[in-house]
Amino acid sequence: MQLCDAMRAENWYPRGLFRSGSPTTPGRRGTPMGFKSATIEGCERSEVAIFAMQVRLKEPTDQAWVESVLRRCWGGSDIVVRGCVYKAADLPALIAGTQEGLCTFAIESDGMSAELVTINALVPAKGIGTALIGALVSRLAANGVRSLSVSTTNDNVNALGFYQRRGFRIVAVLPGAVDQARKIKPSIPLVGYRGIELHDALVLTLTIPKSQ
């Protein structure tokens, strides 16, 4: 078994695995990062062996930490997504590194689609979010899930870029969706990143290739 096969089997995802070779600069767009990347298959980059991050499923002993992250980052476990309330603390979750990142997700009843309910990198721009998405997509693909959706808010331009760089496409813009969600969860703030008023949601979907 080659190194990268071993890492994949153990759900090890290198930091920056899905990054393009050069940084994105104005006027020069980086390569969109998919999950069929030759970089993964070929393990061409030396950094693969150097910066690895383990992603694993939540275990019972993580529960208190999961709840504290949800409280701190989301004001609690109840997450309103397009009118549905997910109890994120009760959902399956992936944890990156030594509790450096968390995502919670739900596989919908059709078994074909999934919702990324929350994602948080506790240390930004170190590849934690990428590792979580990569591990989640692999896991979903292995279970026959064909699409992963996520909703983000109108202020979250960082997340909007992050998801699109990882192959997600915007499939809906929902004006007033955050205002509606606030009626269900009044603790949703009025103002978000960079002082932008929080009103609307954007839905992004990633098509997941069939597992090989």
Ligand X SMILES: CC(C)(COP(=O)(O)OP(=O)(O)OC[C@H]1O[C@@H](n2cnc3c(N)ncnc32)[C@H](O)[C@@H]1OP(=O)(O)O)[C@@H](O)C(=O)NCCC(=O)NCCS
Which residues of this protein are in contact with ligand X, per CB under 6 A?
15-16, 19, 24, 119-121, 124-130, 150, 152, 156, 158-159, 161-162, 165
Contacts of 57 (CB under 8 A, 6+ apart): 92, 93, 94, 95
Output 29 or 144, the one with its CB closest to ligand X. 29
Shortest distance, position 122 Cβ to ligand X, whole Å: 7
Cβ proximity to ligand X, 114 vs 128, nearer residue: 128
Rounded to whole angstroms, the Cα distance separating 54 from 190 reads 36
Residue number with CB closer to ligand X (152 or 205): 152
SS3 119: strand
177: phi then psi, degrees, rounded to nearest 5: -65, -35
List the 113-121 sheet strands across, edge first: 12-14, 52-57, 93-96, 101-107, 113-121, 147-153, 201-207, 169-174
Cβ at position 13, least distance to ligand X in Å: 10
- CB of residue 6 vs ligand X: minimum separation in angstroms? 21
Phi first, then psi: give them for residue 145, nearest 5 degrees.
-75, 135
Ranked by CB distance to ligand X, the top (closest) residue is: 129
**Shortest distance in whole angstroms from residue 152 CB to ligand X:** 4
Q: Which is nearer to ligand X, 8 or 15 (CB)?
A: 15
